């Protein structure tokens, strides 16, 4: 990627839905090499690219982004003087003045993995896209994946459900909804998810189906505490029946959790 322009590299990262932040200098005073319009892209695993003038300012911005992982766009002021006359985030630079930097995430941080691309999965995917989730729609049926409409997913994945760690990033930004066809694979999928890291895990099904699935997992050594991590039956109780109504019910629950300061069950 060395010969690509800054924006060509950004475009590649966005197409692959990689985590990347853009830092742009929007105001600068003092004899600093950091000038308005300079930009730097910071990722979690790859080398930063672009330029904020180098030096301690650039290093401070990179370290701050990797530590804080900002989820919304923000403006930060950086102090380029040690005389105490200025306010802002401290640096060891001596050129004087201040720099304001606009830092924005260029990705959708909330990743929704919908396992099962039937009518309900597609309806949920369409609504989730509108609500700011990056949607992975997963199914083990090639004919389903091949005929999905693009408005219900960002990434469609054909997978047999046997090793979900191949396709799911189990981390604090991951939301997982299990709704396989006929509930045939629900237990298999849930078993792989329960002991991982996630923001939300839910499984669609009737109360009887959920109890039967939980009972089978208890026989395999899963505890009540582990099973309690799964929201099921899924969604808010609004009397939903159609795929679209079910999607609204589930999305209302996800939004409620996402907007809650304390979302521990």
Residues 26-45 pLDDT 10s: 988 866 777 899 999 998 87
What pLDDT is stored for residue 3 in this prediction? 74
Question: How confident is the model over 111-129, as a mean pLDDT?
Answer: 97
Q: Is the preceding peptide bond at 233 cis, omega within 30 degrees of 0? A: yes
- Does the structure show a pLDDT above 70 at 2? no
Q: What confidence tier does 55 reach under pLDDT thresholds 50, 70, 90?
A: confident
- Does the structure show a pLDDT above 70 at 81? no
User: pTM score > 0.85 for this model?
Assistant: no
**Residue (of 24, 30, 48) closest to 100 by Cα position:** 24
**Residue (of 227, 114, 129, 213) closest to 167 by Cα position:** 114
Q: Give me the torsion for CA of 133, 137, 138, 141, rounded to 10°.
A: 170
- Does the structure show a pLDDT above 60 at 107? yes
Question: How confident is the model over 91-120, as a mean pLDDT?
Answer: 83
- Per mean pLDDT, which range of 190-194, 206-210, 238-242 is the poorest? 206-210
pLDDT in tens, 223-264: 999 999 999 989 999 999 999 999 999 999 999 999 985 454
Contact status, residue 57 vs residue 75, Cβ threshold 8 Å = no
- pLDDT over 90 percentage in the chain: 64
Q: What confidence tier does 92 reach under pLDDT thresholds 50, 70, 90?
A: low
| Phi and psi torsions of 62, nearest 5° | -60, -50
DSSP reduced 3-state for 20 = strand
Which tokens sit at 128?
Answer: 């989730």
- DSSP one-letter code for 231: B
What pLDDT is stored for residue 14 in this prediction? 84
Question: Average pLDDT of the chain?
Answer: 88
Q: Which residue has the higher pLDDT, 151 or 173?
A: 151
What pLDDT is stored for residue 182 in this prediction? 76
What pLDDT is stored for residue 265 in this prediction? 45
Residue ranges and CATH numbers for the domains of the chain are 6-105 (no CATH), 111-258 (3.40.50.720)
Show the beta-strand stretches assigned E in the chain: 20-28, 39-43, 49-50, 74-79, 89-90, 98-105, 111-115, 134-139, 155-158, 174-178, 200-203
Contact status, residue 257 vs residue 263, Cβ threshold 8 Å = yes
Q: Is the dihedral of CA 192, 195, 199, 201 positive or negative?
A: positive
**Residue (of 225, 182, 224, 226) closest to 206 by Cα position:** 182
The edge-to-edge listing of strands for the beta sheet with 39-43 is: 49-50, 39-43, 20-28, 98-105, 74-79, 89-90
What pLDDT is stored for residue 85 in this prediction? 47
What pLDDT is stored for residue 28 in this prediction? 85
Please identify which residue in the block is written with the tokens 């690219």: 49
Question: How confident is the model over 177-203, as a mean pLDDT?
Answer: 93
Question: How confident is the model over 61-72, as a mean pLDDT?
Answer: 88
Q: Which of 13-27, 97-111, 223-237 has the highest average model confidence (pLDDT)? A: 223-237
Q: What confidence tier does 96 reach under pLDDT thresholds 50, 70, 90?
A: low
The edge-to-edge listing of strands for the beta sheet with 111-115 is: 155-158, 134-139, 111-115, 174-178, 200-203
């Amino acid at each position: 990627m060395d010969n690509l322009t800054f924006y060509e590299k950004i475009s590649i990262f966005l197409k692959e839905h990689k985590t990347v932040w853009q830092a742009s200098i929007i105001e600068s005073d003092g004899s600093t090499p950091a000038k308005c319009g300079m930009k730097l892209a910071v990722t979690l695993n790859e080398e930063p690219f672009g330029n904020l003038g180098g030096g301690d300012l650039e290093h401070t911005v990179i370290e701050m982004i990797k530590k804080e992982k900002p989820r919304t766009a923000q403006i930060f002021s950086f102090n380029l003087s040690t005389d105490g006359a200025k306010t802002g985030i401290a640096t060891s630079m001596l050129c004087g003045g201040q720099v304001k930097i606009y830092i924005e995430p260029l990705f959708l941080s909330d990743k929704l993995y919908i396992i099962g691309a039937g009518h309900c999965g597609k309806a949920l995917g369409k609504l989730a896209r509108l609500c700011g989730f990056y949607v992975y729609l997963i199914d083990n049926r090639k004919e389903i994946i091949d005929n999905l409409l693009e408005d219900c997913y960002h990434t469609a994945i054909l997978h047999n459900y046997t090793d979900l760690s191949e396709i799911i990033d189990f981390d604090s930004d991951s939301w997982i909804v299990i709704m396989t066809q006929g509930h045939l694979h629900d237990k298999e999928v849930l078993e792989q998810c329960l002991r991982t890291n996630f923001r939300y895990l839910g499984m669609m099904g009737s109360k009887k189906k959920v109890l039967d699935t939980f009972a089978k997992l208890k026989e395999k050594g899963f505890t009540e505490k582990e099973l309690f991590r799964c929201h099921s039956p899924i969604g808010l109780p609004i009397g939903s029946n159609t795929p679209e109504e079910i999607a609204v019910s589930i999305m209302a629950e996800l939004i409620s959790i996402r907007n809650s300061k304390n979302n521990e069950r």
